[in-house]
Structure 1
C-alpha cells in the first residue's frame, strides 16, 4: 500500500512544490548514469537565440486566438481546440477506452505499486539466464563469461515484435548503463578489477529474448536458450553505414578503415522500423572516456568540449583496461559513439549497424513515421540541457512486402536522406513569456517552426562544415544553423493515428540562470524542474514537411503550482506528474508517460492521459516505482503493460553491502533491474 495518504484523484495531501537539491535524482544515479552531467555547465555555449523580443507578425492573429485558441491540425484537416486560460474541461461518466483503472496515489514504497484489480509479474531480472548454458545468477559469483549469456543491466527502451512461433513474441531490450557500486560486493571505485570491468562491458548493450504468453493472463515467461535469443554488448562488432562511414574522423589504430567499431554504450530511447528491425539511441556515451585534456589542438578540443568529454579519469576507469577509452591514445574513439544503432532481431548472426546519416549526439528516440510519398521520417531528441530536436527523412521510399529484394532495399533507407534540426517560434510577445509558466494572453503556449536542413547525403547545408563533419559533430552544425535550445528533449513519438508528434522535455533547472538562455514560448519556465510535453503538427500532416505548428499540452508539476497546465483540464482532478521521459501510445490513442527524476517528493511512475475529447489533459497515475528507480520502456498492449524499473536501489550511500532497495527479490538480496508485466485480473 502507498505510504502517503491521497485523495480520490491520487494526489498526496501534502506534496511539496519544490525541493532544495540541484536534481531530484540521487548523486549516485548522476555519477553512473550520465557522468554527473548536471553538476557541470551544459556543453551548449552557442549564442544562437530563440526569436526576437516581440514576434510582431503574431499580433495580427491574436484576436482570433483569444478565448479559445484553435490550432489547425495538419493530419486529416482536424482541429484541436485549446481551452482558454482558466477553463475547466468536463469530467464524469465513463473514462476513455483503455483508461478504466483506479488511480494509484503518489508514494515512496519499495515496490511496483499497481491499481486495485491488477496483477504483476517480473518477466526477467538482471543476470537471469538467457542463452543456452548460462548459469543462474549469483551476486557473489559473477563473471564476464556468465554475464555475456545472461540478461543485461538497467533496461531502458523495449520493443515487442511477433515471433515465428505461435504464442511467442520477441522482446528486444537495451541496457543503458551499469552501477558497479551496487552490483559488486567489495567494489572499490578507485581500483576496479579487470573482471568487474569486463562484467560491466557484458552487462551493457541489448538483449533479444523470445517470450511466451499465457492465454488467461498477462504473464510472460522467457524461453531460455531459444535460437533467436541474443546478447549484444560493449565488445560486439558493429558496422558503420551511411555517408560518414570510413571517414578519417572515425578511424583509429584498431580500425584504420573507420568502418568497424566495438560495442554500443548507454543505449536509451529507440523505435521499431517498418521493416522489422529495432533502433536504439546511444545517449550519455561521453562519460565512458577519459583524458580529453591530452588533446591540445584547439578545434579538436572544442569538439570534445561540445560533447562533454571528461578531461581527466572516467568514473569507471575503463581506460586502464582498454586504450580505446583513453582519448589521449585514441582521440577519434569517442566519435564512434553517440549514434543510432540498428539490430535485426530475427537474425542472431547479423552484424548490428551504426547509422551515420542520423547524426551524432546524445540520442533519445528514433521513432519512424512514413511520409505521404512513402519515405521514412525519424524523430530524435538530444538529451542535454539546451540541446535540440532533430528529424531525418530518407531519400528513397519504403517498399512493402517480405521479399529479400524489398528487405535489402529497406535496409538502405537510413543511409541516404536529409538530417534536419528544429527551430521553434512562439506567437506571443516575449513580454508575456516571463518564466513563471503563466499562460500568455491567447491562452496557450504555441506557435510555428521550421526544420532546418543540416546535410543531405554527401552534401552539407552548413557553411564551413563538410557533410562528414555535420554527421560526426552534429551538435556544432545545429549550433551554426540557429536551432532552438530545448529543455532536454528525450523521447519523441508520433501518434499512431493522427501522426501528431509528442515530445517529452524532461527538465532544465538552468533555464534562465545567469549567462544561460532564458524562457521562450516552447520552454516557458525558468528553473524548469518538472518538464513539459510538446505536440507538433507537420504542415499538411506530412512528415516530410519543412514547417510545423506546435503547442504545449502539459506543463508538468504539482497541480497546485500555478505554473502547471494540463491542456485546460480541471487541475483538481489530475495526478501530479514530474519529469516526463519515455512516452508510448495504447491501441486507443491514449498517451502514456514514464517519468525519470520526479521532483515532487515521491517515486517515479507511469501515467496515462487522453489527447483528445473532453478528457484531454486528464493525467492519471497507473503505477509507481521501487526506491531509487525510474520507469522505462513502456509498452501498452491490449493484454498487458510492460515496464522496466531501472536502477532500483540507486540511492545515496547505497552499496551491495548496504542496498538502497530489496526489490524485486526481497530482504537479503541486492536490487536487480528487471522487466515487469502488469495486467487486469479477470473477474470470476
Structure 2
C-alpha cells in the first residue's frame, strides 16, 4: 500500500479519508470536539475509534448524538485498493460503528481496525460514483451518520516505468514484490531429493524441466476439484522449451556436438524438455508456495505416450516403429507458447523440433538415396537436415528406442515401421493436455496442422458460433494460421467432465486457414483443404509437390501454405486475442536482410534498416513489430479481415523517428523483439473494458542496453492510426514502403513493467483470476556462461550476493502488489 497522508487520505490509488478536522454536524460540534481534544491531551480521533468498541465514558449533554466523519470525497481508478477511514466521538460510550455501501456497483468491503474499510475499485467503463456511509451509535441509542463519495474512473496503468538495466535480478516497479516459485530441478514428487544444482542431479521425469516457457494457472477448489474462480490454489502448467546443457552436468556435457553420448547424460537432457504440472497454494496474503507431493503433479516429457487425433490419425506419414498404424506417438519437445481451451485444457505447442533429428542429407551415409523426391522436399522445407541432431542423442545407443528414435535416417531395404524415417512427422503439432487428470493421455490435434507452432490462442467463444484458434509459425518468412471448428460452441461444454472429449468435438474437425495480408489493410484467410490447394510449384532444386490427401496437407502444412500464396511474415510468434473486442495480435519478432532484403518488404512487414549492436551492422528488421487484425463482422469464422501494425519496436535513442521508431517509443517503453503476448484475464478489472496487454521480449539486438523485459499496454483498436510511407535503408541503397500504422504509443498506453536477470528471456505469463498475483517465466538466465564461470546466478541472486560458482536456473516468479491491488493498475 502506498504512503497515506491522514490529512487528505489519497495516494497512488489508495484512499484514506481520515480528515480529523472535518466537522459535519454544525457549530455545536465544534465546541464539544474542542473540549474533547483538551480532555484527551490532543490524541487524534482516528487513534481512538474502533469498530464496536466502547470509546469514551459519557459526559456532557445527555441527548447529543456521536460526532462522526467519513472523510473527504476522492477519486481512484478501477482495480486499485481503496481505504476509507472514519472517526466517531461522543460524550457517552460509542457502542456501535460501521460502514455500509449506499450506491454504485457493489464492492466487497473488508473491515480493518480504527474504523477503516478497504475495497477494490470495480471495473467501470466511465466515471462512476460509489457512495459509502459511516454510522455510529452510543449507549442511549443516539445515532449519527456521514457519507463519502468515491469516484471510480476506468482502469489505467498505475505504476512508474522500470528503467532499463542489466542487473542480475528481476526488477519490478516500486510497490511490487517478487517471489521465486518453481525452478529448474525442483522435485515434484514425494521422496525426490532437493536439487543440488551442481550437475549431479538425475530423474528429471519427476523434476521441473529447463527453459520454462508459456504457463497457465488452472484453479483448484479447497476440495481439489476444478475451480476456474480460485485465486488461492491451482495447477501451474508450464512448457519446457530447451536446456542450458552446460549446467545440467558436473563439468558440462560429453561430446554434445558429435557423440557418442553417455546414456545417462542424454536421458537427463531429454527428460528436462516437455511440460510440467505443479500445484501452487497461497498460505494467505498471496504468500505462494508449491506442493512437492501433490497428486496432481506431473511431468510430460519427450518419452510420454501420446495419441494422435483428427484427420491425419492413421496416415501412412505417421507410421513408425513405435506405432505401426500411425495412431500413437511418443512425447512432446521444444514446447514454446500455449493455448487455453474454453473447457479448461492446456494446449502445448511444438516449435523448433526439427533440429533434434539426425538425417545426414548429404555425403557418405546419407539417406537421400532411400527417400522419394516428395520426402526430400518436405524434410528440407521443415529443416530436418542435421548430420548429428541437437545434442547428438541418437549416438547414445543403437538399440534403445529412447535414443535411437532421434536418428531419422532411412535404411537400405527398410520401411517406416522398421526404421525411424517418419519420426520427424510425429512432432510439430499442438498437443492437448488435461491438467486435472494426471492419468490422461495427451492428444496431438492434427487438424491444427504441423509446423513450428509458437502458440494456439483461442478466439472469443460465443454461443452458437465457431471456435477459432490462431497460430504463428516461429521461423522467419513463415505464416499466420487459423483453425475454425466445424462444431458451433455450446456454453454448457465449458464445464464438461470429459475435457479431452470436448477437444475431440471442437479441435478434430474443421478448416485450417493461412493468412494473406494485402497492401490496402485488408486480408484473406486461405483454406488449406484438399482439392482446393494447388500443387506447390517447383522451387530451386525441389520439384513441384502434389498433395495426396488432407492428411498430407496437415502433415506438410508449410508446403500447402506456400502453394496458396500466403504472406511470409517476420518470424510469427505468439498470438493473443483481445477478450473484449476479439481483435487478434501477433508478435513478429524480427527478420534479417538475408531473408527479407531491401526489395523484399511488404505492407505487413514494412521495415528494413540498420540497428548496429556494439559497432556491428545489423540490417533487416532486427527489432520486430506487432501486427493486429479484426475479423469481418467480428466473426471468428470470417474469411476476410482488416489489419494494421499496432506497434513498431525500436531503440528510442538512436532510431530514425520517422522511418524506424514509427510508434514514438521513449526510454520508458522502447523494446526489441516482442515475443510473448497475453491479455489480462476477464475476471478482474485489468481484463475488462480496455484490457491490459502484456508484451515479453526475446531479444539479442537490444541487450547492449538492457536485459530482456516485459511491458504493460492498453492498446487501441485496428484503424486508430493511418497510412504511413517508410523510407527503408539497405547496405547499398534505399526504397520506400507504404504501410498502415496504429496510433503512437504514449506513457499512458505503454510502460515497461519488469526487467529480467542477465541473459534471460522473459516468456510465459498468467495471473490468478483476481488479478492480484502475476506469474512470469524467466528462461535461460546465464545462457552464455560455463559451469566454472556462470554468467548469471539467478534466481539465487534475487535474495542477494551469491558464491561465484552458483549456477543459474530457469524459474517462475510470482509478482504481487504490496497493497493487494490488481497488477499493473
Mapped to 2, the partners of 1:392 and 1:236 lie a distance apart of 26
Alpha carbons 1:610, 1:616 under 8 Å: kept = no
Mapped to 2, the partners of 1:530 and 1:510 lie a distance apart of 13
Mapped to 1, the partners of 2:480 and 2:339 lie a distance apart of 16
Deviation, structure 1 residue 369: 1.8
Match of 2:556 among 448, 465, 473: 473
Secondary structure, aligned partner of 1:177: coil
Residue in structure 1 matched with residue 790 of structure 2 by the alignment = 659
User: Is it true that 1:376 corresponds to 2:458 in the alignment?
Assistant: no
Residue in structure 2 matched with residue 521 of structure 1 by the alignment = 603
Secondary structure, aligned partner of 2:405: helix
Mapped to 2, the partners of 1:239 and 1:629 lie a distance apart of 34
Question: 1:391-418 CA deviation, whole Å, 9 max, x = no partner?
Answer: 0000012333334478734533110000
Residue in structure 2 matched with residue 591 of structure 1 by the alignment = 693
Alpha carbons 1:494, 1:501 under 8 Å: kept = yes
Alpha carbons 1:290, 1:327 under 8 Å: kept = yes
Residue in structure 1 matched with residue 448 of structure 2 by the alignment = 358
Match of 2:476 among 380, 385, 391: 385
Mapped to 2, the partners of 1:454 and 1:476 lie a distance apart of 10
User: Is it true that 1:411 corresponds to 2:513 in the alignment?
Assistant: no
Deviation, structure 1 residue 310: 2.4
1:327-476 to 2 correspondence within 5 Å?
A: 327-328=408-409, 329-370=419-460, 373-401=464-492, 402-404=495-497, 408-427=501-520, 447-455=521-529, 461-463=533-535, 464-465=546-547, 466-476=549-559
1:203-602 to 2 correspondence within 5 Å?
A: 203-217=272-286, 219-293=287-361, 294-296=367-369, 297-321=372-396, 322-328=403-409, 329-370=419-460, 373-401=464-492, 402-404=495-497, 408-427=501-520, 447-455=521-529, 461-463=533-535, 464-465=546-547, 466-510=549-593, 518-526=600-608, 527-560=620-653, 561-562=655-656, 571-572=665-666, 574-586=668-680, 587-588=686-687, 589-600=691-702, 601=704, 602=706
Alpha carbons 1:152, 1:204 under 8 Å: kept = yes
Question: 1:495-533 CA deviation, whole Å, 9 max, x = no partner?
Answer: 01110001110000136755x971111000120000001
Match of 2:166 among 85, 108, 128: 108
Residue in structure 1 matched with residue 715 of structure 2 by the alignment = 611
Question: 1:416-439 CA deviation, whole Å, 9 max, x = no partner?
Answer: 000000000012xxxxxxxxxxxx
User: Is it true that 1:179 corresponds to 2:244 in the alignment?
Assistant: yes
Mapped to 1, the partners of 2:272 and 2:302 lie a distance apart of 8
TM superposition score normalised by structure 1: 0.79
Identify unmatched segments of 5+ residues in structure 1: 1-93, 428-446
Deviation, structure 1 residue 350: 0.3
Secondary structure, aligned partner of 2:551: helix
Identify unmatched segments of 5+ residues in structure 2: 1-151, 223-229, 362-366, 397-402, 410-418, 536-545, 609-619, 681-685, 718-742, 797-801
Question: 1:89-118 CA deviation, whole Å, 9 max, x = no partner?
Answer: xxxxx9973521111111111111111221
Residue in structure 2 matched with residue 647 of structure 1 by the alignment = 780
Q: CA 1:251 to 1:647, structure 2 compared with 1: closer, same or farther past 3 Å?
A: same
Deviation, structure 1 residue 636: 4.2
Alpha carbons 1:558, 1:564 under 8 Å: kept = no
TM superposition score normalised by structure 2: 0.66
Secondary structure, aligned partner of 1:301: helix
Q: Which moved more, 1:233-242 or 1:597-606?
A: 597-606
1:87-98 to 2 correspondence within 5 Å?
A: 97=155
Alpha carbons 2:573, 2:587 under 8 Å: kept = yes
RMSD: 2.5
Alpha carbons 1:174, 1:207 under 8 Å: kept = yes
Q: CA 1:662 to 1:349, structure 2 compared with 1: closer, same or farther past 3 Å?
A: same
Alpha carbons 2:663, 2:744 under 8 Å: kept = yes
Deviation, structure 1 residue 568: 7.6
Residue in structure 1 matched with residue 209 of structure 2 by the alignment = 152
Alpha carbons 2:476, 2:595 under 8 Å: kept = no
Alpha carbons 1:291, 1:312 under 8 Å: kept = yes
Deviation, structure 1 residue 175: 0.5
Mapped to 1, the partners of 2:760 and 2:667 lie a distance apart of 26
Secondary structure, aligned partner of 1:349: coil
Mapped to 2, the partners of 1:403 and 1:299 lie a distance apart of 42
Residue in structure 1 matched with residue 195 of structure 2 by the alignment = 137
Mapped to 1, the partners of 2:421 and 2:532 lie a distance apart of 24
Q: CA 1:142 to 1:352, structure 2 compared with 1: closer, same or farther past 3 Å?
A: farther
Residue in structure 1 matched with residue 764 of structure 2 by the alignment = 633
